[in-house]
Amino acid sequence: MTDALFLTSDDVADLATPAEYVDAVREGYRQRGAGAPAQPRSKLHQRDPDGMLTSYAAVLPETGVMGGYMYTAGFGAGDAWFMTPLFDADSGAPLALLDGASMNPFKTGAAGAVAVDELARTDADILAVIGTGAQARGQLRATTTVRAFDEVRVYSPTLENREAFAAEFDESLAATVHPVDSSAAAVAGADVVITATTASEPVFDGDDLEPGTHVTAMGQYSPAKRELDTTTIERATYVPDLRERATLDAGSFIHALEAGAITDDHVHAELGEIVAGNAPGRTSDDEITVFDSGGTGIETVAAASLLYNRALEAGRGTELEFAPASEALTGN
């Protein structure tokens, strides 16, 4: 028998800052760039009731952990549940089971922030955020830990949402945060653009991007949906979280590929290869860069390990008992 720790969203909600998530996720991607195993998400769909079961996994051998995400969305309840199992990478024994909901925007935001740190110009000071939901909040909190922005522009099609979002962050960030009335107004002259939406079609015109802009797109991971248009992909140095995902469910890349605007070779490198120093990031101030973030086990396992260790220090969580197969597989 072995004990593992069950951690609720409340247990882990205040255990790490956005900057600490970024550090943990950066280290996870460095290990990926050095050869750590990770796979894109697997999605199983059901109709009646409509829903999706998703999972993905990664091993971070230097951290000594492995695991991933399994979550449902939709179905009869019309909601989502996130579970994160964490295992010891040496023994294989379970360490923890986390309710992964509260950490989701933080770990996903951290992946975006790592990409901004690697790919955006060092003097970037104008940020555009398209989207105002939980993921947009996570992206903004994390990204402002790696660049000192003077101005943040916020756009959502819903006036009340963008005004409330801007007011909230204008009080908490050093930057001036204000709403704008179109995505074009957000993108014009921006140094960094973040898209965190549920849109099925491109949310801005790629011709509006200034040379030197970095774009993080994280709202879509479906072949039929995209936040970025073909022009943006064609103009950019394209970096996905996992190379395999580019032609699996990265809708923006797949659309550009099918339009004949690019080839498979348009993938510059995985984010981890850049973090590990095995591929260059930005090479000029005029270069447009794109990080296409669909979500991986890399940031999930890195964040879960951080929270697990903090929970042990804080004495939080509930112990669960697991039997190894040598004991449980009795056949009786």
pLDDT at 222: 85
Residue 167 makes CB contacts below 8 A (sequence gap 6+) with none
35 burial via Cβ count (<10 Å: 0-12, 13-18, 19+)? exposed
pLDDT at 1: 83
Q: What is the C-alpha to C-alpha distance for residues 232 and 189, in angstroms, rounded to an integer?
A: 15
Q: What is the C-alpha to C-alpha distance for residues 3 and 210, in angstroms, rounded to an integer?
A: 54
* SS3 label, residue 20: helix
- Token pair listed for 156: 């959502």
* SS3 label, residue 176: strand
pLDDT at 332: 59
Q: Which residue has the tokens 């940031």?
A: 299
CA dist 325 to 29, 68, 88, 220, 266, Å? Answer: 32, 21, 16, 38, 45
Task: Please name the amino acid found at residue 76.
Answer: G
Q: What is the C-alpha to C-alpha distance for residues 136 and 223, in angstroms, rounded to an integer?
A: 22
Task: Please report the DSSP string for 129-147 in residue order.
Answer: EE--SHHHHHHHHHHTTTS
- Token pair listed for 120: 């955006």
Instruction: Using CA atoms of 173, 176, 179, 185 in order, give the dihedral in degrees to the nearest 10.
Output: -130
Q: What is the C-alpha to C-alpha distance for residues 94 and 78, in angstroms, rounded to an integer?
A: 30
Contact criterion met (CB below 8 Å) for 94 and 304: no
User: Digits of tens for pLDDT over the chain (332 positions)?
Assistant: 899 999 999 999 999 999 999 999 999 999 999 999 999 999 899 999 999 999 999 999 999 999 999 999 899 888 999 999 999 999 999 999 999 999 999 999 999 999 999 999 999 999 999 999 999 999 999 999 999 999 999 999 999 999 999 999 999 999 999 999 999 999 999 999 999 999 999 999 999 999 999 999 998 888 889 999 999 999 999 999 999 999 999 999 999 999 999 999 999 999 999 999 999 999 999 999 999 999 999 999 999 999 999 999 999 999 999 999 888 887 65
pLDDT at 220: 84
Prediction pTM value: 0.96
Give all domains of the chain, ordered by start, each with its CATH number.
2-104+297-328 (3.30.1780.10), 121-292 (3.40.50.720)
